[in-house]
Chains A and B, each alone.
Chain A
Amino acid sequence: MSASPIDRVAKATPPKLARKIRGLSDRTIAWIFVAPSIFLLLAVNIFPLIWTINLSFTNFKANRPGREIKYIGLRNYERILGDSDIWLTMQATAHFLFWTIALQVLIGFTLAWLINRKFKGNDLWTTIIVLPMMLSPAVVGNFWTFLYQPQIGLFNYVVSFFSGVDPSSFSMLGEVSLAPWAIVIVDTWMWTPFVMLICLAGLRSIPDYIYEAAAIDRASKWRQFWTITLPMVLPFLMLAVLFRGIENFKMFDLVVQLTGGGPGSTTELTSINLKREAFEKWRTGYASAYAIILFVTVFGLASIYVKALNKVKER
């Protein structure tokens, strides 16, 4: 009978090393295995976080490494939280967050509800709808820039076809009133499938017998929707909202590709503004305080998300 792999490894281990390992407790061996991960976590996540908190209380500028670093207390936080330009950036982010989430939930749930009905080509439609989500944000940003072109863009052509407005009379990415909606449309196009998939999972988890019982009780389709479908999908919907909320709060790539924060600073979301403060103006201490404010906000939202997730698990 051939030796087992464990026996073969034991035989191949040099006697000196084998003696050393034999002397170690299970707990020590476990720590040896876990230590590299803990070290990486500390080096890549925890240390930069602590260092950023430290920098947020200083006037440090990364492009002037020789300059004396002064501790200025909470002054960076005071300046950020009293700056009306950053407040406007927060409002731009709020506009983006509110409308993308509202549209994605509405369209995503409707699509999921339609896809959940059995019809021919159901799987094919699901695949087609899910496609935008699988594209890179850089690619999506690039081709929507072409679609939004006033002269040759398909989007302007379609709008002009239905409304009769001259396609070259408006520029989705160049006008202050339209640019915030342009980024909302693209994000909705890209991420509605994600919400749809989550809603679809919720709809498919509802057992048929509940609808059969409701039908026996002569409940109308409308009543079934409000008393069965919506309450049972609600936790899934809530999860989708929180997922998208946290993701869109950090939105950077798509918007940079589309508008670069312009025109002016109309579409300058917090993440773009933060990048400008940190790597264009090189106000590292100030940008660190800004990052900590955003971190606490996202962390707070993530805490609620974890709570919601636990509630869903309990169901």
Chain B
Amino acid sequence: MSRFFNGILRLRRGPWEMTATVLIGLGVFMLMQPFVLWAYTYSFVITLVGTVMFIIVSHFPE
């Protein structure tokens, strides 16, 4: 876990990509879940943030 946070602080690609992937996954889940409307409402923002983050962090060093 500390390795993950170290990677985040040192702007390493792996953990940042992992975070972006989790955000995209969460956004897609929120978009399609049948439980609460507010999660659907905010899903697009989360997916967009995850996708843009993924594009940016894929240029970070390994």
Contact surface of A with B, Cβ cutoff 8 Å: 77, 81-82, 84, 87, 90-91, 93-94, 97, 293, 296-297, 299-301, 303-304, 307
- Report the bound CA distance from A77 to B42 in whole Å: 11
Chain A contacts of B31 at CB under 8 A?
A: 90, 297
- Report the bound CA distance from A91 to B35 in whole Å: 10
Chain A to chain B: the 10 pairs with minimum beta-carbon distance, closest first: A94-B32, A300-B24, A300-B51, A303-B54, A81-B41, A91-B34, A87-B40, A90-B32, A300-B47, A293-B44
Q: Are B21 and A82 in contact (CB under 8 A)?
A: no
Determine if B8 is an interface residue (Cβ-Cβ < 8 Å): no
Q: Are B48 and A296 in contact (CB under 8 A)?
A: yes
Select which of A81, A87, A301 is within 8 A of B28 by beta carbon. Answer: A301
Number of A-B contacts (CB under 8 A): 54
- Report the bound CA distance from A94 to B30 in whole Å: 11
- Name the residue in A87, A94, A293, A301 with the highest tally of chain B Cβ atoms < 10 Å from its Cβ: A87
Q: Which residue of B lies closest to A245 (CB)?
A: B28
Q: Which residue of A lies closest to B30 (CB)?
A: A90
Q: Which residue of A lies closest to B54 (CB)?
A: A303
Select which of B21, B33, B34, B43 is within 8 A of A304 by beta carbon. Answer: B21
Contact surface of B with A, Cβ cutoff 8 Å: 17, 20-21, 24-25, 27-28, 31-34, 37, 40-44, 47-48, 50-51, 54-55, 58
Provide 12 A-B residue pairs closer than 8 Å at the C-beta atoms, listed in order of the A residue.
A81-B43, A90-B32, A94-B33, A293-B44, A296-B47, A296-B48, A296-B51, A300-B24, A301-B24, A303-B21, A303-B51, A304-B21
- Name the residue in B17, B27, B34 with the highest tally of chain A Cβ atoms < 10 Å from its Cβ: B34
Q: Is the interface of A mostly helix, strand, loop or mixed?
A: helix
Chain A contacts of B28 at CB under 8 A?
A: 297, 300-301
Query: How near does chain B come to A266, taking the closest CB pair, in angstroms?
Result: 14
- Report the bound CA distance from A81 to B43 in whole Å: 8
Q: Are B33 and A303 in contact (CB under 8 A)?
A: no
- Report the bound CA distance from A190 to B38 in whole Å: 36
- Report the bound CA distance from A208 to B19 in whole Å: 38
Select which of A82, A87, A91, A303 is within 8 A of B24 by beta carbon. Answer: A303
Q: Which residue of B lies closest to A97 (CB)?
A: B32
Chain B contacts of A304 at CB under 8 A?
A: 21, 24-25, 54
Q: Which residue of B lies closest to A87 (CB)?
A: B40
Chain A contacts of B24 at CB under 8 A?
A: 300-301, 303-304
Q: Are A300 and B27 in contact (CB under 8 A)?
A: yes
- Report the bound CA distance from A93 to B28 in whole Å: 12
Chain A contacts of B33 at CB under 8 A?
A: 91, 94
- Report the bound CA distance from A202 to B26 in whole Å: 29
- Report the bound CA distance from A306 to B19 in whole Å: 16
- Contact A297/B21 with A91-B34, A303-B55 known, Cβ cut-off 8 Å: no
- Name the residue in A94, A299, A300 with the highest tally of chain B Cβ atoms < 10 Å from its Cβ: A300
